[in-house]
């Protein structure tokens, strides 16, 4: 078997990370915020916003309402979603009332 010729060798692709990296990152962040708002609308809660929540146990939480376990692909169902305010994690079923704090 003959050794491969230089022009037949596999060449590594070059990525231009310095090009429009800030524009791409800004676009991704905006798309991510829009996805979170959309999911929040589907769930019926203002995800990503400052809120005051009262749980059925009587505990009152104030802070930013986020989806627990957020990963690259946002997904949650109303019956099983886990939410978080600060260090407190709770299921969507435990919420007695929620109001957005502007």
CATH number of the domain that residue 84 is part of: 2.30.30
Whether residue 2 lies inside any domain: the answer is: no
Of 36 and 98, the structure prediction assigns the larger pLDDT to: 98
Domain that holds residue 34: 14-100
- Please state the rounded mean pLDDT for residues 41-64: 92
pLDDT of amino acid 38: 83
Whether residue 6 lies inside any domain: the answer is: no
Q: Answer yes or no: pTM beyond 0.85.
A: no
Whether residue 51 lies inside any domain: the answer is: yes
Whether residue 1 lies inside any domain: the answer is: no
pLDDT of amino acid 41: 86
Distance CA 29, CA 45 (A): 20
From the list 68, 96, 66, 92, the residue with the least C-alpha distance to 79 is: 92
Instruction: Count the domains in the chain.
Output: 1
Residue 2 pLDDT > 60, yes or no? Answer: yes
């Amino acid at each position: 078997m003959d050794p491969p010729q230089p022009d037949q060798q596999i060449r590594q692709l070059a990525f231009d990370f310095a090009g429009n990296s800030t524009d791409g990152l800004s676009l991704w962040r905006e798309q991510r915020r829009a996805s979170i708002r959309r999911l929040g609308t589907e769930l019926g809660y203002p995800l990503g916003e400052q809120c005051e929540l009262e749980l059925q146990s009587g505990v009152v939480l104030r802070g930013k309402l986020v989806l627990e376990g957020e990963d690259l692909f946002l997904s949650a169902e109303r019956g099983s979603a886990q939410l978080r305010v600060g260090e407190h994690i709770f299921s969507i079923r435990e919420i007695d009332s929620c109001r957005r704090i502007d």
